[in-house]
Amino acid sequence: MTYGIKKTWELVKTALVCNNCGSRIITTTRTLEVATMASEVYKLQPLSLDLSKDLFHRRLSCAAIEWNNHLPAVVYDKILHKCGGIPLAIITIASLLAGKPVEFWSKVYTSIGFGHEENEDVENTRKILLFSYYDLPCHLKTCLLYLSIYPEDHLIEKDSLIWKWVAEGFIHEEPGVGLFEIGERYFNELVNKSMIMAVEGDEHIGIITGCRVHDMMVDMICLLSKEEKFVTVLDSKEQYTTSHRNARRLVVHRRAQPLASTSTLQARSFNAMCSVDLLPSLSCFQVLRVLALEGNDTLDKCSYKLEHVGKLVHLRHLKLGRIGISELPKEIGHLKFLLVLDLGRNSISELPESIGRLSELKCLNICETDIEVPYWIGNLTSLEELCLGRVHGHSNFVTELGKLTELRKLHIFKSVYVYGGSRMNSWAESVAKLSKIQVIDIDLVVGCRDSSHEENPWERIVLSPQIRVLHMSYLEPGMVARINPSLLPNLSHLKLHVCSPELEVFGSFRELVALKLETVSTLHHDTIGAFPKLRFFRTEATLDSFQEGDMPVLESLQFEVVAQSSDDGISFGFDFASLGNLPLLKRVVVTLYAPRADDEKAKETVRKAMDMLPNRVEHSIIPRATENWRRRLKHRLS
């Protein structure tokens, strides 16, 4: 929000007198920042399918249309899907259909969005959406129009989109702020202005990993993009014309026929989501800044020639998705301006050593390949984002990591091996050097010390206070002591190995959204605590019960119970009825330890207890033999 708008809003608020006369004033806005200044914020959710149908039917009834059960179901469902639960869209489209016989609904559907038929209701919707667009600052208009490179209903990856904005030159530099971080702010502004819909990751609740665009907004964006010749999209059978050769941004979605190689294309970016064997030679391009070959899952091996990629000297962003390649040309090392190298899901096992000379590279993604981390990874000192698959025990990555001092995000999607005191110490010291790190997301850390008496560097190490996501769970007691709110005030997501059942320190993190606690021992949490923002809680310990006020916004819970068999039946140390004290709970996963003879009886007892909850919680049970629990108990006692 600009300073002028903020002052204007503060002036308006002076007229809204706060007293006890019983009146209420409701302000509505498409901008979240304005809403937060007003008072309490209620984010209006899209209508459910049933409510959408009800509103749709009522609008048609107002038009004196006879409603029957013989409507064209496929078109009817498509229309409601296109409305996306937005009342304005539903009412406008229902008004459009009110003047048409049911037999012509298919034809009308093609005009939903902004078709070629002139219709006042559709034009009114367009004006409302266009008003929101023209109200954007210039840099956000450019970023929004760029979304026309994606097909309808596509889930757009947030980080990939922002890096493309950076490579295209859409991000305006600001002193002391990284280009990606500015781009992330642009993304959030588009979300707050309701131009795009943020999407949380399936595995990382509370983390925005992508976005979708409402169908009617897509129609508007594509129309504006075409009018301004901002993006040119080739359909499945279309071949080049003169206008395509002069297009600044060329997009190919699905292709049925090959695109012939032609004279020089002037495109600054080329995005393709089809088989690369249908695409023109890279020699046709001279001034590309963005090359994104998404490919598909049908190619095991491709014959597409990548050698010419080394001559694309202006290239900033190179993504080679599922295109069936097994090696990279060493000429990639000639791309001295390259910012992003994303190798997607390919059968590549080695990076050319020439890539180590890419001094401007800020993002490297090799997590879905078989590439071993190269020994020269520490040469890429400009890296801000690094996504790896597995770090083997013989890798020197544990020491090279400390050279990547610009790193903001580290993702390791499989495992990192840090066996032995020497490697454990090198790993700790390297992590401590990452002063700008915000995300450390490692699926599995495998390692332990040779002796508990050796020097532990965690006693003197301080993690970056900028860390928001810390998923680094392994048996390292010294590290646990460094996890506290005064050192990590921004922490929102934590996965940690613990030896103590105490939860009090974690409840002190005011921004904590997700907490995952792992242990090889048997632990029991006697008390839970408030955790005001926690939405996801997973623990490998047993629980006592939830009191009223504990975890008030918790949505997903995973914990363990041990069944005890007696003459009176099956009992547990946990009070399942206390789950009723979690008002927003949606999902529960219970790991159930039970004697083999009582396994089915124990599962049925848990199911009945869960079915009695008032909020109809979705639940699942993971059975385990009691012997496994005894083994963990033995480990604890030893």
pLDDT, mean of residues 584-588: 94
247: phi then psi, degrees, rounded to nearest 5? -65, 140
pLDDT band at 114 (very low <50, low <70, confident <90, very high): very low
- Residue 458 C-alpha from the chain's centroid: 31
Query: How are beta strands 363-365 and 340-342 bridged, if at all?
Result: parallel
207-219 residue pLDDT tens: 999 999 987 788 8
List pLDDT tens digits, range 381-390.
Answer: 999 999 999 8
Nearest to 361 by CA among 321, 310, 407, 396: 407
What are the CA-CA distances from residue 401 to residues 384, 430, 532 (Å)?
Answer: 12, 6, 35
Q: What confidence score (pLDDT) does residue 222 get?
A: 92
Mean pLDDT of 240-269: 74
Mean pLDDT over residues 131-137, rounded? 81
Q: Is 325 a residue whose pLDDT tops 70?
A: yes
For 79, the 3-state DSSP assignment is helix
Cβ(430)–Cβ(407) below 8 Å: no
Per-residue pLDDT, averaged over 575-595, amounts to 92
The pLDDT confidence band at residue 116, using thresholds 50, 70 and 90, is very low
Query: Angle between the 215-227 and 120-134 helix axes, to the nearest 10 degrees?
Result: 70
Least confident of 78-92, 98-112, 270-284: 98-112
Q: What is the mean pLDDT of residues 256-262?
A: 66
Q: Which residue has the higher pLDDT, 341 or 272?
A: 341
Average pLDDT over residues 589-597: 89
Burial class of 78 by CB neighbour count within 10 A (0 to 12, 13 to 18, 19+): middle
3-state class (DSSP) for residue 417:
strand
Q: Which residues contact 54 (CB under 8 A, 6 or more apart)?
A: none
> pLDDT tens across 605-628, in order?
999 989 988 878 899 999 888 777
Asked if 294 and 271 touch (Cβ cutoff 8 Å), the reply is yes
Give the per-residue pLDDT at 280.
78
Residue 15 tokens read as 């007229």
* CB-CB neighbours of 604 under 10 Å: 12
469 φ/ψ angles, rounded to the nearest 5 degrees = -120, 120
Helix (H) or strand (E) holding 292: strand 290-295
Topology of the domain covering 136-222: Arc Repressor Mutant, subunit A (1.10.10)
Chain centroid to Cα 161, Å, comes to: 12
Q: Which two tokens stand for residue 177?
A: 């702020």
Q: Which amino acid is at 329?
A: P
Q: Give the DSSP letter of residue 34.
A: H
What integer is the mean pLDDT of 78-84?
A: 75
Mean pLDDT of 406-434: 91
pTM score over 0.95: no
Q: Give the other-Cβ count within 10 Å of 589's Cβ.
A: 15
Q: Which residues pair with 625 in a beta bridge?
A: 594
| Cα–Cα dist 603/610, whole Å | 11
Average pLDDT score over residue span 278-298: 81
CA 300, CA 361: separation in Å to the nearest integer?
29
Strand residues in 158-252 grouped as ranges (E): 197-200, 208-212, 232-234, 249-252
Contact 55, 47 (CB under 8 A): yes
Q: Which residue has the higher pLDDT, 241 or 200?
A: 200
> Helices marked H in 86-178 — which ranges?
87-98, 105-109, 120-134, 138-145, 158-168
Which single residue is written with the structure tokens 């009582």? Answer: 598
Q: Are strands 514-518 and 493-497 parallel, antiparallel or unpaired?
A: parallel
Q: How far apart (Å, rounded) are the C-alpha atoms in residues 461 and 298?
A: 48
Mean pLDDT of the chain: 83
- DSSP class of residue 413 equals E
Higher pLDDT, 1 or 129: 129
pLDDT confidence tier of residue 317, bands split at 50, 70 and 90: very high
- 3-class state of residue 36 by DSSP: helix
Token reading at 386: 């690094």
How large a percentage of the chain has pLDDT more than 90?
37
What value does the mean pLDDT take over residues 391-407?
A: 93
Whether residue 8 has pLDDT greater than 50:
yes
Residue 115: what pLDDT? 44
Measured between alpha carbons, how far is residue 559 from residues 291, 319, 473, 544, 620 in Å? 45, 40, 17, 11, 11
Fill in the amino acid letter for 241. T
Exposed, middle or buried: residue 19 (CB in 10 Å: 0-12, 13-18, 19+)?
A: exposed
For 155-189, the pLDDT digits (tens) are: 999 999 999 999 999 998 899 899 999 999 999 99
pLDDT of residue 62: 61
CA neighbours within 13 Å on the CB side: how many for 267?
28
Helix (H, G, I), strand (E, B) or coil at 193: coil
Residue 4: per-residue pLDDT: 57
Residue 562 β-bridge partners: 593
Instruction: Give CA–CA dist 411/204, Å, rounded.
Output: 13
Residue 117 has what pLDDT? 44
**For 476-523, what is each residue's pLDDT tens digit?**
877 887 888 989 999 999 999 888 888 888 888 999 999 999 887 778
* Residues 568, 556 contacting (CB under 8 angstroms): no
Q: Are 360 and 383 in contact (CB under 8 A)?
A: no
First to last CA, the chain: 59
Of 87-91, 313-317, 624-628, the one with minimum mean pLDDT is 87-91
Strand partners, 571: 564
Average pLDDT over residues 626-634: 69
Q: Hey, where are the domains in the chain? A: 3-38, 49-131, 136-222, 231-347, 372-476+489-497, 499-638
